[in-house]
Structure 1
Amino acid sequence: MTRLTGRALRLTVFIGENDTWHHKPLYAEIVHRAHAAGLAGASVFRGIEGFGASSLVHTSRLLSLSEDLPVAIVIVDTVEHVRGFLPQLDELVTEGLVTLDDCEVIRYVGRDDTLRTSDTKGKKSS
């Protein structure tokens, strides 16, 4: 079970949905590397509209449908773990924005999947 409370660091990586690393989505590579590095968790959020350094607005509106919507990958963990992960981002992110923010975790408790299983109705059982 993972427990994280108190002071932490939030890492946010802003990239485009079409950005790739060795022919696979860059956001997936970042999440997989964060997992392999033992970070507490990572989430990917797909934006509905935005622009970056190119000043080109990308949107999901039907009349101007973009194939390269903004994506944000958010990782929260201890300062040491997040800072230890930054060299991997230096290798992966050639275009985009990476931000670090101090934050406070009120409660983060991961479930222990070895003690829980789901039956066919989705109810938890031990």
Structure 2
Amino acid sequence: MLDPRAVTGVVNLIAVAHDIPPISAPPPWRGLPVTPALVRWRLVRNARAAIPWRVAADFRSTLLEGSRFSAIYAGGTRQNHPNARGRYRFWLARGWDTRRHRDGSYRLDVEAADIRGNASRGQLELVLVNHQV
């Protein structure tokens, strides 16, 4: 597990996100989450984008081909089953080299949106500590 107070070297960034549809499916799928239509992320330092918005998953116009599943979903992802919630873990970045950025405090923003553009945003404060000279 990544310690956000001391991020160093090459790391993977993963976000857990889901959407609750406005009209629930009938049983046994009632109340179960679905994947967001869009998942994106950025890295901010001093109120400026160190990494601009990057799209992790975009299902707004097409569904995912089965062969691309592991490119979008990280390990631990599970689909809904009758009366059992799924868990959707999205790759934000694989092999992200923190040494490409100056040491210091950053904010990781992750946004999930539905097909209508309704969005929620989560944030995580990160401190990069590569001891650059």
TM-score range, shorter chain: under 0.3
Structure with bigger helix share is: 1
Higher RCO (Cα < 8 Å, 6 or more apart) = 1
TM-score using structure 2 length: 0.22
Structure with bigger strand share is: 2
